[in-house]
Structure 1
Amino acid sequence: MKILHVYKDYYPVIGGIENHLRALAEGLARRGHEVTVLVCHPDARTEVGMLNGVRVIRAARARTVASTPLSAELPRLLARERPDVTHLQFPYPLGEVSHWWRGHGRTVISYQSDVVRQRMIGAAYRPVMRWGLRRADALLATSPNYVVSSPELARLAHRCLVVPLGIAPERFAAPPRTRRARPTLLFVGRHRYYKGLPDLLRAMPEVDADLIVAGDGPMRPAWERLAGELALGEKVRFLGTVPDAELPALYR
């Protein structure tokens, strides 16, 4: 089967959805499917290549607006593909509109997040978004709780299929370890406004535990300042970017 995945970024760009998309695309390729990933290039050039059995098309990026890469090339490149299935990682308005306008194949949408901060953009996009969600052949959510808590998914709960994001269990097999003297909490993720880390930091003075924060992003300086203002001291450690190969050890 020919499968086309459409999103903003792909490996070596690191992020939760990027990691999920890479694992999914490479897993499908190993099963014998013809897999293509269409994303935006970090720069103003278009590149096509193979990566671990997956054909990756990186469309020239014009600019980035409200965390959304824009590319005049992406709709044209998408129209040239003839997949059996197009899988959209929502939200990415350019990818979704390009698919409904010029795309092919049956449509699967993985609903990863509500549009929460860009209120004006969200209001303008909402009619098209809702039309596209209703039209999808399959609408996937990552947890039953999200189907209930998301205003958009709740409207379409009868159509949602819950498919959690998968991992390779062998990577996280826990060897024997020495227990820490104090309980330890772990946060792993990009440092962006919607991640909720400030709530965790503000709760830490009341929690008899240490906190390890792995990841990086635009909010890191502000969150480090907040930890200082809360006088958390050695209770919290910001590790910055952690190589993917080292992440499993943090969970053990």
Structure 2
Amino acid sequence: MKIIQTPVRFYPFIGGVENYVHYLSKELVKLGHEVTVVCANEPDSEHNESVNDISVKRLSYTGKIANTNVTPGLPFTLLREDFDLIHTHIPTPWSADWSSIISKIRGKPLIVTYHNDIIGEGFAGSIANFYNSTCLKSILKQADKIIITQPNYMNSSSHLKDYRDKIEVIPNGVDIERFKPLSEHRAENTIFFLSLLDEFHKYKGLDYLLKALMLVKKEIPDVKLLVGGKGVLLDHYKAQADSMGLGDNIEFCGFIPDERIVEFYSTCNVFVLPSISSLQEGFGIVALEAMACKTPVISTEIVGVADDVKSSNSGIIVEPKDFPALADAIIQILKDGAIQKKMGEHGRKLVSKKYTWKGVAEMMEKVYNEVL
């Protein structure tokens, strides 16, 4: 098959959707398919290149609307391409809209992975509501298949209720050959959190992790939180940490290069993903990456892998925004090396069995074959 993927950005940009498209496309190529990614040129890279045998066409952009790069050349590029189907992604207006339009013009199937809802506050919320009632509805109606990464999203998102007959649940995956423990040694009393630090990712819950850390510090004075990621709110979080008396307990690591991310997962005692919005948190690939590195995970009920974390005893799941419970979970794991080891082993076993990108790509291939 000749497959077009239209994420708003692509590797080396690091983000949930970007990782999803990168790893899925890499495995689809291994299965014998031709994959072309059409995206915005951010960060600035070669306009046309091959990444892991994936053809990547990067387009100039004129600015951003709601964290989505506006690429004027997208419709013309898609019209020129030879393809069997388009696979696009929500929540990225513009790239998803034009993918829908071009697939209709060309009479080719449209696959949509619905990662999470498009929402906003104030004026942005009004724009989001207008978009959801018009363009989004049109995209979902046209889509031949809608992919969601966790079954709960069918009920938590009001936009999906009319399309149950064409929804398929295919989880995210993790590269278990790349994400694996580097050694048995772990830094003592160390927590790791990873996210973009901007307004669009406040739902990852760092504010609540900082509140929990204040409680943890009373029990474990030398506790250390490593915060990976950069963004416009970096200085805000640094100031917040200082005002809470946590300056000595937090290290803001900034952007973590791809080649070092496994090191961070492998040397901490616990990875924490305290997401607070079921509308915005689609799955939480970072939780899978941590488990693949035999690191216990603490997360919230709304994260896609939460049920498996609980049933496999790979970590602890708490309610969103419940920072006292979050603190108790962190203390419980940090104080017990045996629990850390047992949860780590269970997590690695879980992802190896259920969440490989090879398995995800094979499930996706079946969907593609069905619509063709």
Q: Is the contact between residue 90 and residue 110 of structure 1 (CA under 8 Å) also seen in structure 2?
A: yes
Q: Secondary structure at the match of 1:234?
A: helix
Q: 1:161 and 2:172 equivalent? A: no
Partner residue of 1:87? 87
Partner residue of 2:264? 250
Partner residue of 1:170? 177
Partner residue of 1:38? 38
User: What is the CA RMSD across the aligned residues, in angstroms?
Assistant: 2.4
Task: Rate the CA distance shift 1:6–1:222 in 2: closer, same or farther, 3 A.
Answer: same
Partner residue of 1:114? 117
Partner residue of 2:144? 137
Q: Is the contact between residue 114 and residue 150 of structure 1 (CA under 8 Å) also seen in structure 2?
A: yes
CA distance in 2, matches of 1:163, 1:90: 15
Deviations 1:51-109 (A, max 9, x none): 32111112221222331211221111112223212110212211122122222421111
Q: 1:198 and 2:207 equivalent? A: yes
CA distance in 1, matches of 2:148, 2:256: 27
Selected match of 1:149 from 145, 152, 156: 156
Deviations 1:198-250 (A, max 9, x none): 12212221235532211111211111111111111332221111111211122
Given residue 4 of structure 2, which amino acid in structure 1 is its aligned partner? L
Query: Given the two structures, how large is their TM-score scaled by the length of structure 1?
Result: 0.89
Aligned pairs, number: 251
Task: Rate the CA distance shift 1:7–1:229 in 2: closer, same or farther, 3 A.
Answer: same
Partner residue of 2:129? 123
Task: Rate the CA distance shift 1:119–1:246 in 2: closer, same or farther, 3 A.
Answer: same
Deviating beyond 6 angstroms after TM superposition, the runs of 4 or more aligned structure 1 residues are 43-46
Deviates more, 1:73-82 or 1:167-176: 167-176
Q: Is the contact between residue 46 and residue 59 of structure 1 (CA under 8 Å) also seen in structure 2?
A: no
**Structure having the larger proportion of residues in strand:** 1
Query: Given the two structures, how large is their TM-score scaled by the length of structure 2?
Result: 0.62
Given residue 35 of structure 2, which amino acid in structure 1 is its aligned partner? V
Given residue 229 of structure 2, which amino acid in structure 1 is its aligned partner? G
Partner residue of 1:188? 194
Partner residue of 1:241? 255
Partner residue of 1:49? 49
Partner residue of 2:359? none
Deviations 1:116-175 (A, max 9, x none): 223122122112202211321111112233333333235545543222221111222225
Task: In structure 2, list runs of 5 or more residues that go unmatched.
Answer: 267-372
Q: 1:228 and 2:242 equivalent? A: yes
Partner residue of 2:287? none
Task: In structure 1, list runs of 5 or more residues that go unmatched.
Answer: none
Q: Secondary structure at the match of 2:57?
A: strand
Q: Secondary structure at the match of 1:250?
A: helix
Task: Rate the CA distance shift 1:164–1:80 in 2: closer, same or farther, 3 A.
Answer: same
CA distance in 2, matches of 1:25, 1:157: 26
**Structure having the larger proportion of residues in helix:** 2
Task: Rate the CA distance shift 1:17–1:100 in 2: closer, same or farther, 3 A.
Answer: closer
Partner residue of 1:218? 232
Task: Rate the CA distance shift 1:199–1:116 in 2: closer, same or farther, 3 A.
Answer: farther
